[in-house]
Structure 1
Amino acid sequence: MRRIMRNALVAVGVVALVLLALGALPGYLGSGEQYYLEVSATDDDGTAVNVTEISERRYPYLTTALSADDGRSAGYQRALGGFKDAFTHTPFDEHSALQQLEPDAARDGGERVIVERDGQRYSVDVVSEAADE
């Protein structure tokens, strides 16, 4: 094998390895405060997003929060100054997606989103560990 071909193959291998690491590694990184998707029952009778038939694969944080006793999803930590957000699914993604599904369901300038599941209405918000202290 010629030297230039070997170097090209090594370079392609390194690039492939880096891309794989960027796809897998950020999910395991985490530092700083925890963020949660939190749901709480509400009597708000305005427009709401119907989430009765949502996919657990598309909205893992929301479905976890809706089924949890404390109304909270699993925690998420931003890492590397938010760099991780570009490579992983976050509670912020789900909150934004809910607002896009039904813009009129957003309340308080987009801080909360009203959802309806099986006739029960909930207020959905992204909260942080530091905000609770």
Structure 2
Amino acid sequence: MRQITRRAIVGFALVVLALLALGALPSFLASGEPYYLTATPTDADGPAVDVTNLTERRYPYLVEAIDTGRSAPYRRGPVGLKESFSHSPFDERQGLVARNPDARRDGAVLVADGEDRYLVEVTRS
């Protein structure tokens, strides 16, 4: 095998291993207080984001918050690396605001799940 081919294969293997490590790394990077996505029932009127057909695969924190009132904890990474590689409640809140910017309410987002309405916000413990 030529030396250039060997170097290319070793370089490719190192890149693949680095990408695999970055995929597993975010679950190990957790520090600080936990953040939760909370859903509080409300009778507020006005524009709301319709979340009736949103899937748990796309919005896992939101679905859990609507079912139980509060999602599973999310801890930020120590140097901001984790946020680049993992899904967070902050991403879900931003996604809800992007669906309907008029649904914002003082740091929370008004969502409608069928006939029920909730104020959804990111909170600390």
TM-score normalised by structure 2 residue count: 0.94
1:55-66 → structure 2 map (5 Å cutoff): 55-66=55-66
106, 114, 121: which one pairs with 1:118?
114
* 1:30 match: secondary structure: coil
TM-score normalised by structure 1 residue count: 0.88
Write the distance in 1 (CA, Å) between the matches of 2:57 and 2:115: 22
Write the distance in 2 (CA, Å) between the matches of 1:124 and 1:8: 50
Look up the equivalent residue of 1:37 and give its one-letter code. L
Give deviations 1:21-75, integer Å, cap 9, x for gaps.
Answer: 112221332111101100101121111111111111000000011111xx10001
- In structure 1, what is the equivalent of residue 6 of structure 2? 6
Worse-superposed segment, 80-89 or 111-120:
80-89
Compute the RMSD of aligned alpha carbons.
Answer: 1.1
Look up the equivalent residue of 2:6 and give its one-letter code. R
- In structure 1, what is the equivalent of residue 95 of structure 2? 97
1:88 aligns with 2:52: no
- In structure 2, what is the equivalent of residue 25 of structure 1? 25
Name stretches of at least 5 consecutive residues in structure 1 with no aligned partner: none
| Aligned pairs, number | 125
Look up the equivalent residue of 2:73 and give its one-letter code. G
1:29-40 → structure 2 map (5 Å cutoff): 29-40=29-40
Write the distance in 1 (CA, Å) between the matches of 2:77 and 2:52: 32
Write the distance in 2 (CA, Å) between the matches of 1:33 and 1:82: 14
Name stretches of at least 5 consecutive residues in structure 2 with no aligned partner: none
